[in-house]
Amino acid sequence: MSADIVGWRVRETSIGGLHVPADWIDDDRTGALAVVRPGPSADPDVAFRENAVLSVVESAGDIVADSSNAIAEARAMMPWSHVVSVTPWPQGPFDRRMQFLYEYDGVTVAVTKFTGTKGGSRIDLTCSAGLDAYAALVGTFDSIAVLSTLEVLA
């Protein structure tokens, strides 16, 4: 579907297609399935780049428990974090959308985290941007979540 949308590409994963902006760069250095927004520097060691990370973890059993666990994980971040909202997300493969803030290396990072429960797994799509860039990217993050075709088979 979105593979035909100008400016988007499909990153095939073991759980389906992650639909991302065409110019975002695959970046799996941390062992996670990730893409980063291209920056002015080609240096891969830049401290923070806007990104989207897909992960699959064991489910607590249902979306209410999975969402509660995702909230607890966000609140436990150090040195600080602040959960701003948690709302139902009826579009695409996700059931909840959480927004939170945290600090990383002196940068305030804004995050939209989408969580879905499929079979015995919790699928998380965590999209992050510096607070200064977040307003311009939140629509892109929402589109990644809506357009992606992800499914964990039980």
Residue 92 maps to which CATH number?
Answer: 3.40.1000.10
Largest CA distance in the chain: 43
Q: Are 36 and 50 in contact (CB under 8 A)?
A: yes
Quote the pLDDT of residue 44: 56
Name the residue among 127, 115, 126 with its Cα closest to residue 152. 115
- The dihedrals phi and psi of 59, each to the nearest 5 degrees, come to -80, 150
pTM: 0.90
What is the extent of the structural domain holding 85? 2-40+49-150
Higher-confidence residue of 105 and 94: namely: 94
CA distance 95 to 98: 10
First to last CA, the chain: 24
> What is each CA distance from 122 to 36, 58, 93, 144, in whole angstroms?
22, 6, 11, 17
Q: How many domains does the chain have?
A: 1
Token pair for 128? 């992050």
Quote the pLDDT of residue 1: 44
pLDDT band at 46 (very low <50, low <70, confident <90, very high): low
Three-class SS state of 82: strand
pLDDT band at 106 (very low <50, low <70, confident <90, very high): confident
Alpha helices per DSSP H over 34-112: 63-75
